[in-house]
Structure 1
């Protein structure tokens, strides 16, 4: 069953530091530990991609991320198709499909066009809108956390947040191994909790993954 730890209102995601990537900038498949609020590992996430796609397309790359439970069983898949990162054309807006069990869609995260803010809509398996996600105008901040607020459909109520955690000057400068936390209502539908986890990975790739042709740029201003 997906997200067996259903009675949770917070997840913490720690991306593992890859030595080869840190030393020479060679992009490797991302790996993450997913923990509960007590620091106990509940899932492990691994990206599946080929060397050429990772290093030529950088943060633009399509990906499949598999979520494994502590017994190594695959319980969730995240699939992102290739699209250019641009808010000028609707065909370039990002989308992520969440599957559980793998092959069975349970929800989607779609990027919304906005001139200043990173905005997303969370949808269920029938593509019905459930929640909204709104980020800050300036996504890159030094020495502070960055919050993406999870909101009701009318965007009047904040029900949670996805936070990119500041990990210190050394780690931020020399690696793209990021830490995130996700807070959501305890009684949120378990499928939507899985979709929120997917939204966190999409945000990581869009705004905090180093591009393939630059090892110095992180984050940036939403354009």
Structure 2
């Protein structure tokens, strides 16, 4: 696991764009304002690009690579075509699947169950209806939380760009793959639930 995943706080800033097909993010250390990670969705096919501007946007596949500012691959988040619910895979820097997020069919606000590579349940990602607050929990123990940060009137009204603050608790040890899954889940929140 890359050392960049050992922080306990991340500020995730989506790139703005009125007519954009791909989703790109920059992740900063909120204490130093230093760029820590970049998240890029590259090599979109023509059909996927076209569908991103339609009502079928939530069904389109995606593959987002997360890299350090120096270009080292940290993790990848990918999903195939989704019809009703999504299953999103999180891969490590060697493109090995380390976990999956499986969307619950009926849930207000959005909910994913998070599993390791062998389909063992780890925790749930739960959101509140009509809110931008999400928590990673298991048996009332909270591992992390995500909250939306106000992007400003112009960005909120005229673009789909969102900013998130991720806070990971001390319950998640450093150099643990749970951190990779939690950071990868941020892409799920935006790509699956909020677009």
TM-score surpassing 0.5? yes
- The TM-score, its normalising length taken from structure 2, stands at 0.86
Match of 1:114 among 77, 102, 106: 106
Is the CA contact 1:7–1:186 (under 8 Å) kept in the aligned structure 2? no
The residue aligned with 2:41 is: 47
Secondary structure in structure 1 of the residue aligned to 2:146: strand
Match of 2:182 among 196, 201, 223: 196
Secondary structure in structure 2 of the residue aligned to 1:138: coil
Q: CA RMSD in A?
A: 1.9
Is the CA contact 2:115–2:121 (under 8 Å) kept in the aligned structure 1? yes
Match of 2:164 among 176, 180, 185: 180
Distance 1:58 1:113, change over 3 A: closer
The residue aligned with 2:141 is: 157
Alignment partner of 1:36 is 2:29: yes
Q: Deviations over 1:129-155 (max 9, x none)?
A: 11111111224xxxxxx2012211x2x
Q: What pairs up with 1:53-64 in 2 under 5 angstroms? A: 53-56=48-51, 57-64=56-63
Unaligned runs of 5+ in 2: none
Q: 1: CA distance between counterparts of 2:26 and 2:103?
A: 25
Is the CA contact 1:96–1:198 (under 8 Å) kept in the aligned structure 2? no
CA-CA distance at 1:82 after TM superposition: 0.9
Is the CA contact 2:143–2:171 (under 8 Å) kept in the aligned structure 1? no
Q: What pairs up with 1:6-17 in 2 under 5 angstroms? A: 6-17=5-16
Is the CA contact 1:122–1:131 (under 8 Å) kept in the aligned structure 2? yes
Unaligned runs of 5+ in 1: 85-91, 140-145, 210-223
The residue aligned with 1:214 is: none
